[in-house]
Structure 1
Amino acid sequence: MLIPIAGVLSKDEVRQFRAQLATAPWEDGLKTAGTLARAVKRNQQLADGSPLAVELGNQILRKLGNHPLFISAALPSRIYPPKFNRYADGGTYGAHVDSAVMQVPGTSISVRSDLSATLFLAEPEEYEGGELEIEGPFGIQAAKLAAGDMVLYPSSSLHRVTPVTQGARIASFMWIQSMVQDDGARTLLFDLDQSIQGMTSSVAADDPRLLKLTGVYHNLLRRWATP
Structure 2
Amino acid sequence: MLIEIADLLDRTALREIREIAERGDFVDGAVTAGYRARRVKNNNQLSKKSAAESGLGARLAGALNGNAQFRRSVLPKRILPPLISRYAEGMAYGPHVDDALMQKPNAVRSDVAVTIFLNDARDYDGGELVIGSPFGEQWVKLPAGAAVAYPASTLHRVAPVERGTRLVAVTWVQSYVRDPQQREILHDLDRVCRKLADSQGEAAETDLAFKSYSNLLRMWSEP
Normalising by structure 2, report the TM-score: 0.95
Query: After the TM superposition, which residues 65-144 of structure 1 pair with which residues of structure 2 at under 5 Å, given as runs?
Result: 65-103=65-103, 108-144=105-141
CA shift for structure 1 position 19:
1.6
TM-score scaled by length of structure 1: 0.93
Q: Which amino acid aligns with 2:172?
A: W
Structure 1, unmatched stretches of 5+, are none
1:224 corresponds to: 220
Q: For residues 154 and 51 of structure 1, do their structure 2 counterparts lie closer, same or farther at Cα, with a shift above 3 Å needed?
A: closer
SS in 2 for 1:217: helix
- Three-state SS of the structure 1 residue aligned to 2:198 is coil
Say whether residues 1:148 and 2:145 are aligned partners.
yes
Asked if the contact 1:122–1:169 (Cα under 8 Å) also holds between the matched residues in 2, the reply is: yes
Distance in 2 separating the partners of 1:123 and 1:51: 21
Task: Find runs of 4+ consecutive structure 1 residues off by over 6 angstroms.
Answer: none
In structure 2, C-alpha distance between the alignment counterparts of 1:109 and 1:50, rounded to whole Å: 22
Structure 2 unaligned spans of 5+: none
2-structure distance, mates of 1:225, 1:148: 30
Q: Distance in 1 between matches of 2:207 and 2:192?
A: 13
8 A contact 1:47–1:53 mirrored in 2: no
Shift of 1:12: 1.8
Alpha-carbon distance, 1:10 to partner: 0.9
Per-residue deviation at 1:199? Answer: 2.7
Do 1:98 and 1:156's aligned partners in 2 also have CA atoms closer than 8 Å? yes
Offset at 1:39? 2.0
Does the Cα contact within 8 Å between 2:89 and 2:163 map onto a contact in 1?
yes
Sequence identity, in percent?
A: 42
Alpha-carbon distance change, 64 to 34 in structure 1, aligned in 2, over 3 angstroms: closer
Q: Are residues 54 and 186 of structure 1, via their aligned partners in 2, closer, same or farther at CA, if it must alter by over 3 Å?
A: farther
Q: CA deviation at 1:37?
A: 2.1
Q: Does the residue aligned with 1:22 lie in a helix, a strand or coil? A: helix
Distance 1:34 1:218 in 2: 37
Counterpart of 2:35 in 1: which secondary structure? coil
CA distance in 1: counterparts of 2:51 and 2:97, whole angstroms:
28
Corresponding position: 1:27 with 2:31: no
- Structure 1 pair 49/190, CA: closer, same or farther in 2 (3 Å)? farther
User: Any idea what SS the aligned residue of 2:78 has?
Assistant: strand
2:37 is aligned with what amino acid? Answer: A
**Shift, 1:59, TM fit:** 1.2
Contact 2:61 2:80 in 1 (8 A): no
Structure number having the greater helix percentage: 2
**3-state SS of paired residue (1:8):** coil
